[in-house]
Chains A and B, each alone.
Chain A
Amino acid sequence: MSTGSRSLPGQGAVSRRGLLRAGGGLAAATALPAVLTACSGSGGGKVRLVGVADEQQPVTKLVAAYRRSRPGVGFSTSFAPTDQVQTVVRTQLAGGNAPDVHVLYPGSGSAMSMVELAKAGLLADLDDQAWTKTIPKSFDAAYRRDGKTYLYSAGSSVIGAVYNKRVFAEAGVRPPGTWSELLRVCATLKAKGTVPIALGAQTPWVTQLITYALVPNAVYAANPRFDDEMAAGKATFADSGWADALGKYQELQKRGFFNDHPDGTTYEQQTSMVATGKAAMAVQVSSVLANFRQAAASPDDLGMFLFPGGEDASKLWIPAGIVVGLGVSSRARNSAKGRQFVEFLGRQENLNAWAAAVSAIPFSRDSTTRLDPVLTPFLPVIDAGRAVPFMDQRWPNAEVQPAHFAAVQDLLAGRTDVKGALAQMDEAYGKTS
């Protein structure tokens, strides 16, 4: 299916700014939610920074640290949920009124991703900064486009099972190491009257996590070049290990290992279920651990283990995705000051601080790096090269991920099967970006 976004041959491109001069620019100004308009006016000499809520804690802390060393530099920061920020920042970018530093997603596959914005020439190249030299080559697709670095991100978060240790102990079970063990543990928990796996699939982004946890073993363990084959049109979701992964997802539901009505349950309810012991575990990304800990009676009640998608505990593969970061606008008024701030963020102690705030693993580590203890089981797997980026970070357009959300919700509701779900994803993958 065509998307209607293809240029007709022989027609010249028009500059958006040129058209805005002719009219229509006010639409951008009137579209901004009140929460963010405070930073959209004249910032004077201040560095304007717009981030997502997930970044608020590390950014606030590091802005304060930066200002201690450079008190003359003022900041105007604002944070909001992902969808709102995405709407506003894209509008500002289009209107030539971009913040100096703004949220940026790694790789491609999102309307606010590094590739999408770099392609439009809206990002400053950060290659002259020392920290960019320490980014592992394997992370190129997330941080770089055409050999130039555009993204600042502290490192990777992992997907695994966040579990309630108390509930596990009461049921007499331990974190499983293989898929078969996982099924046995879930059966035991279910028999004890506990929901084995809490699933808040009404919140779209939660739907993808179980698939992401299973796909590394089902796909990349056998074929690490799967993304390249997909890009070349030599592979499809439907005829790959994705079918096994979604099949296992469905098996967990058929065995009654999820809470009732996962499609009507939200992420907040999922969090509460695990934190209060109503459910034993939830497949989640490590960066939300702080929310689970806040909801629990004691943060020590919670641990994390590799969600085993395979049968060999010593050869499990895991998803480890670069966390949402920041980009510097190439056209903003104070983009030079923004670059200096990002250079400061690239220092090892600041990478460590940001990563610690979101339970992530810094892309470069030294003796000063202190990781969240729950991440310990994941490190050997990452160091052994058995970690793959979150799948969407290599997808060619922003439609595949929402198609995946919808496919999983339909699968859970019994409105489609694995084949139908993957056909929806293949169709979305085939669209032009």
Chain B
Amino acid sequence: MRAPLNPLRRTGRRDPTVPPRIFVLPALAVYALVVLYPSAAGVVYAFTDWTGVGSFSFVGLANFHTLLGDDRAVHSIGNTLLLTVAVVVAQNLVGLLLALGVHTGIRSRALLRVVFFAPAVVSPVMVAFLWKYVYNPDSGAGLNGVLGAVGLGGLRQDWLGDPSLTLWSVAAMVVWQYAGYSMVIFLAGLQDVPPELQEAARIDGAGTWQRFRYVTWPLLAPALTVNLMLSTIGGLKLFDQVYAATDGGPGTASETLSTVLYKEAFVYGKFGYSTAVALVLALFVAAVSLVQLHYLRAREVAA
């Protein structure tokens, strides 16, 4: 959806309703000083053998060669991608369903929006600690206790201790926390769908599913773009919940690229190598995001 052309632009006069760009400078200066500059300066360390303390030497591309042969890092990339796909799909699906649910005329919709959004404002580490109680492997506690109480005792699991389940348990925790966040963005999109289009479709005899599929869904494209972008970037960078809930375990079953780079820096004392991992992660996230943005924007225009 293109913005309407500004007639004032052609006359060369500044639109008085648009604030001058210079106003952004103070915020940009602070951001550049505390984020952009240190990040850029930090890139230097990716080419050194710095341990985090003391002096260091430049080692060229050695850290990147090491990364290619580092089984743990490669394994963690697989985990990161699995986790990202699971989170992106489930978070947006649940978020969309919640948005559709609270976009109706039910009386409690305002309260429900707050309730569903609430987990998104809680610290991820706190959420991880909460869910450690939910995932207590004891048959009478947490989720296992609930399953037993409703006659589904056969579904009890060692949610965080079984290596084949850990990753999915963490994904569920993340989805629980951020589905409400996606819901809010979808809600904003739903409010942009003109009621007269829905009305016209209804008069033409379209059912609920057809109205959603051919009217609502195409017009939700901008909201979907934002949600997919945010959840993809969040998934690829996932650290707090994994670190607090499993520390990458059992073994290395839930290790993500972020937990690997954290451990390389702060546990193993290999800041140089860790910065190289961080650089690769940043470039990877940027590349995925750009491809995604290009595709989704094209889809928006088509819609």
Contact = CB atoms under 8 A, between A and B. Distances in A.
Task: Name the prevailing secondary structure of the B interface residues.
Answer: loop
Range of interface residues on A (Cβ < 8 Å): 35 or more
Nearest to B246: A202
A39 B53 CA distance: 20
A265 B250 CA distance: 11
A27 B42 contact: yes
B113 interface: no
Contact of A116 (B55, B69, B253, B269): B269
A90 B269 contact: yes
A140 to B, nearest CB: 23
Interface stretch (A11-19, A170-178, A229-237, A364-372): A11-19
A244 interface: no
A412 interface: yes
A433 B250 CA distance: 25
A57 B159 CA distance: 35
Contacts, number: 183
Interface stretch (A48-56, A183-191, A401-409): A401-409
Contacts of B48: 14
A30 B34 contact: yes
Given A5-B273, A19-B44, A409 B137 contact: no
Given A24-B41, A93-B53, A398-B268, A6 B162 contact: no
Nearest to A8: B59
Given A3-B273, A8-B62, A413-B161, A14 B55 contact: yes
Contact of B55 (A13, A27, A204, A263): A13
Chain B interface category by residue count: 35 or more
A415 B247 CA distance: 18
B30 to A, nearest CB: 11
Interface in A110-153: 111, 116-117, 119-122
A111 B266 contact: yes
Given A13-B56, A120-B53, A406 B252 contact: yes
Given A1-B70, A263-B163, A409-B250, 11 more contacts: A4-B62, A7-B49, A11-B57, A16-B53, A26-B33, A94-B53, A116-B53, A260-B158, A264-B162, A410-B163, A415-B251
Interface of A: 1-8, 11-16, 19, 22-27, 30, 83, 86-87, 90-91, 93-94, 111, 116-117, 119-122, 201-202, 204, 260-266, 269, 397-399, 402, 405-407, 409-410, 412-413, 415-416, 433
